[in-house]
Structure 1
Amino acid sequence: MSALCPVCNLTLPLPQIESHVNSHFEDEEIDPQIASDHYLALQLASDHSSTLKEPDNVAKRSPFYRIGNGGLICLLKNCMLESKSKPLESSTSLLSGYVDHFQSSKEDKGWGCGWRNIQMQCSHLLSRRDQDDVKRVLFGGSNFVPDIPSLQRWLELAWSSGFDVSGGLHFDKRIYGCKKWIGTTECAALLRSFGLRARVVDFAPEKSKSMYLSVPGSAVAPRRRGYGPMDRYVVKKGESGKGKGVDSHGGSSSSRISSKGAVLMEWVWNYFSNNRLDVSSGVHITNKGPLYFQHEGHSRTIVGIQRRLQGTTFTPQYNLLILDPADFTRGIEKALLDKRGWEGYLKRGAHTLTCPEYQMLYVDNGIATGEELEQLKTIDSQFVQF
């Protein structure tokens, strides 16, 4: 068994890799935990490790399709810059920085969206030039986005380290090789185990705060804001019995959907604008990372938001800019390059927000240590009422 040194690209036997990598940094003080994580990352990435052989029922390593021409966000920015505005309309678009799109493969179709959104989140974190401390700790400083089996191993390690205890117990602290649904809670536990400040936000009606909701894989369980063994939103399609345009508490209600959409859109806008009121029109790359966007039956990644002010009243209209793991990366790239049909892939208006509840995750800057890191082991959340 051998592994590649990430510094000099020299191939060495696994037992020698740790000391070899450390030798490149003899003049620097190396955190023993980071050195250990780096060694583990190399083990997880090794195709030849017999102890980490991938079971047949888990997603295999599939070729990752990287978008050229500066990446997907760059292509999206170009398209939005060339989009024509209507008369008396002012348009402002706010985008996250670099994000790779990770599409679901045939092996993880129907259950892997959560893992794919974690990969998208990590691709952004590893691209940040102003976040060297994050690169240093994330996946042992290996500087690559792991595949699904490796992410499953990292999540098991997070549970064994005391992050999201109730969630780990729900899965018996085992998820490697399983086709089990995950959501924002699991993403938070995984990222927090590296010291990242992953934050969870709940969007729901006031009355649902005391509701009893069905949790997949278990009996009826009380809602626990941010503590769920699995996000309550992760329900297979068709189980909820609710269709598009149907209010979560019975009956069709366009006014409730409109209000719900307005609250969520305003929150996303404030997140990407950093609560600034003086954002000029145009297309802007912000210093904000993408949002893990969980809802009933599926999860996606929000990479930005567009606001249009129309007419003399300047009433804002919003479009979320979303990457869906269910879409094909090549299809998204072609649409963006052709500047035709890309809106169907990426734009989602307030009228599409028909699910009864939503949940988001974002990552604050910096690395937590000491007492703060201990506090991050409990997955809490912010509640936003519709």
Structure 2
Amino acid sequence: MDSDRFTTCPFCDSCLPLSQLTEHANFHFWELQHDFDLPPIIHRSPNATAPRQSLPREQAAYVSLSGAKYWRGGETSSYNGECKVNEKISCLIVSQTRSEFYKVEAGLMALLKNCLESEIGNSISILSGYVDHFQCLQSEDAGWGCGWRNIQMLSSHLLVQRPEARKALFGGSGFVPDILSLQRWLEIAWEKGFDLPGSAQFNHVIFGSKKWIGTTECAALLRSFALRARIVDFGPKESQSIPGSSADNARNETSIHNLVKEKDKEGRGYHVLMDFVWNYFLDKISIQFGQKHVVFSEKTPLYFQHDGHSRTIVGIQVNHQQKRHLQYNLLVLDPAQSTAALERSLRQKVGWEEHIKRGMHTLKKPQYQLCYVDPGIASEGEVEKLKTIDSIFLEF
């Protein structure tokens, strides 16, 4: 049977079943549309005149697949039929690329646990389970890729710790894709109706872009796999809506920052965020400290967003001071840091605190956002509701 025969893709030389060749080739045209900013692919009648589009000569190629004629490059860039979402998904599952990263032998979180256990003092710490560190690379995404790297870190946890997520994420590939593949997955999420307002802000295109993303894009991407990604906002009440021009927004941001500073002087302010993170990881149902002062939680890491940068919170430490005062330290993996340097400091137990710990005195931004993933897979009806990205707001 033809479906059992294999053939070679004329574009990328991949060997695949003949029955998948059309969908696979369609993906190349979809990719080409992004690369060369081509007009949307449309269906035309046999007598219609196709628009002329000049492309570099080396991109020109012609092939006949399943009786339908396609052009890759040259002067013609249209073909009969539309590339459906399911076809894009099928092609992306086959073509997506595993992200290359520095793999820490024995696991980064196990090294962090050893360091925390070696500390002397009256403290207790809670950590997420398995998490890989994905660093921004100077040659690839330095200065703009932190949001994608945090999605990769969160995904690395989900793939190892949650079997239901492993089956759902990235077509069941079992690995964390590179940034370009994640960008394609986000565009598919938008096309499926997730976060339409956010999609419009990017003009529905993110593939190949160096634009910054945040918790909303993270939630949309993960929700498109029926995962229950949640967002929590922190800030003064006035920060829930900041109207006006850019100049007005700058003045409002300054005003909001001043409000936070005043509340922080009164002993409140950022305690709201720290208390939330502690209670989130504590998960009283499953956490039992006993004689231990470092334990693992079943909760996912937290995508930690603020103006200008984002990181991943992988746990929290609390020190019991005199007069029952609690001193918190967020335990953070920063995409801007070198994984090799981070591993070295953890193995030697020298300088690792500077890489990992972030006390309340380091929280200086007027607004913060967190994104995490609740357990389980959403039902079909719930998925429809998840297409609208909402959040919980907690006032500083």
Q: Taking structure 1 as the reference length, what is the TM-score of the superposition? A: 0.76
Q: Work out which structure has the larger RCO, using CA pairs closer than 8 Å and 6 or more positions apart in sequence.
A: 1
Identify which of 367, 375, 378 aligns with 2:377. 367
Q: Which amino acid aligns with 1:76?
A: L
Task: Map residues 50-89 of structure 1 onto 2, 5 A cutoff.
Answer: 63-68=100-105, 70-85=106-121
- Separation in 2, partners of 1:2, 1:291: 43
- Separation in 2, partners of 1:196, 1:133: 9
- Separation in 1, partners of 2:274, 2:367: 14
Task: Map residues 37-56 of structure 1 onto 2, 5 A cutoff.
Answer: 37=89, 40-45=92-97
SS at match of 2:258: coil
**1:172 CA drift (Å):** 1.4
| 1:274 counterpart residue number | 283
**1:40 CA drift (Å):** 2.6
**1:251 CA drift (Å):** 9.7
- 5+ long unaligned stretches in structure 1: 4-10, 20-32, 47-60, 222-238
Give yes or no for contact 2:155–2:176 (8 Å, CA) kept in 1. Answer: yes
SS at match of 1:74: helix
SS at match of 2:217: helix
Output one character per residue of 1:218-257: Cα deviation in whole Å (capped at 9) or x when no partner.
Answer: x989xxxxxxxxxxxxxxxxx89989xx970379648349
- Separation in 2, partners of 1:206, 1:115: 29
Query: Does 2:155 align with 1:91?
Result: no
Identify which of 353, 357, 360 aligns with 1:343. 353
Output one character per residue of 1:310-358: Cα deviation in whole Å (capped at 9) or x when no partner.
Answer: 22x2211100000000000000000000001000000000111110000
**1:261 CA drift (Å):** 2.0
| 1:303 counterpart residue number | 314
- Separation in 2, partners of 1:81, 1:214: 50
Give yes or no for contact 1:203–1:385 (8 Å, CA) kept in 2. Answer: yes
Give yes or no for contact 1:198–1:363 (8 Å, CA) kept in 2. Answer: yes
Give yes or no for contact 2:236–2:256 (8 Å, CA) kept in 1. Answer: no
- Separation in 2, partners of 1:323, 1:240: 32
Q: CA RMSD in A?
A: 3.0
- 5+ long unaligned stretches in structure 2: 1-6, 22-84
Give yes or no for contact 2:195–2:220 (8 Å, CA) kept in 1. Answer: yes
Q: 1:250 to 1:286 in 2, by over 3 A?
A: closer
Output one character per residue of 1:108-143: Cα deviation in whole Å (capped at 9) or x when no partner.
Answer: 111100000000000000011xx2221111000000
Query: Does 2:269 align with 1:260?
Result: yes
- Separation in 2, partners of 1:251, 1:205: 7
Give yes or no for contact 2:315–2:332 (8 Å, CA) kept in 1. Answer: yes
| 2:163 counterpart residue number | 132
| 1:229 counterpart residue number | none
Identify which of 179, 196, 202 aligns with 1:171. 202
- Separation in 2, partners of 1:34, 1:290: 30
- Separation in 1, partners of 2:346, 2:266: 30
Output one character per residue of 1:67-89: Cα deviation in whole Å (capped at 9) or x when no partner.
Answer: 00x2000000000000111xxxx
Tell me how many residue pairs correspond in the alignment.
321
Give yes or no for contact 2:329–2:358 (8 Å, CA) kept in 1. Answer: yes
- Separation in 1, partners of 2:302, 2:221: 16
| 2:387 counterpart residue number | 377
Q: Taking structure 2 as the reference length, what is the TM-score of the superposition? A: 0.74
- Separation in 1, partners of 2:261, 2:289: 36
- Separation in 2, partners of 1:220, 1:180: 23
- Separation in 2, partners of 1:346, 1:99: 14
Give yes or no for contact 1:94–1:306 (8 Å, CA) kept in 2. Answer: yes
Q: Which amino acid aligns with 2:336?
A: A
**1:18 CA drift (Å):** 6.6
**1:45 CA drift (Å):** 2.6
Higher helix share: 2
Give yes or no for contact 1:34–1:140 (8 Å, CA) kept in 2. Answer: no
- Separation in 2, partners of 1:213, 1:67: 47
| 1:112 counterpart residue number | 145
Q: Which amino acid aligns with 1:317?
A: Q
Q: Which amino acid aligns with 1:72?
A: L
| 1:148 counterpart residue number | 179
Q: 1:76 to 1:15 in 2, by over 3 A?
A: same
**1:210 CA drift (Å):** 3.6
**1:260 CA drift (Å):** 2.1
**1:259 CA drift (Å):** 2.0
**1:307 CA drift (Å):** 0.6
Task: Map residues 286-301 of structure 1 onto 2, 5 A cutoff.
Answer: 286-301=297-312
**1:173 CA drift (Å):** 1.0
**1:207 CA drift (Å):** 2.1
Give yes or no for contact 1:201–1:382 (8 Å, CA) kept in 2. Answer: yes
In our comparison, the structure showing a higher alpha carbon Rg is: 2
Q: 1:212 to 1:295 in 2, by over 3 A?
A: same
Task: Map residues 352-363 of structure 1 onto 2, 5 A cutoff.
Answer: 352-363=362-373
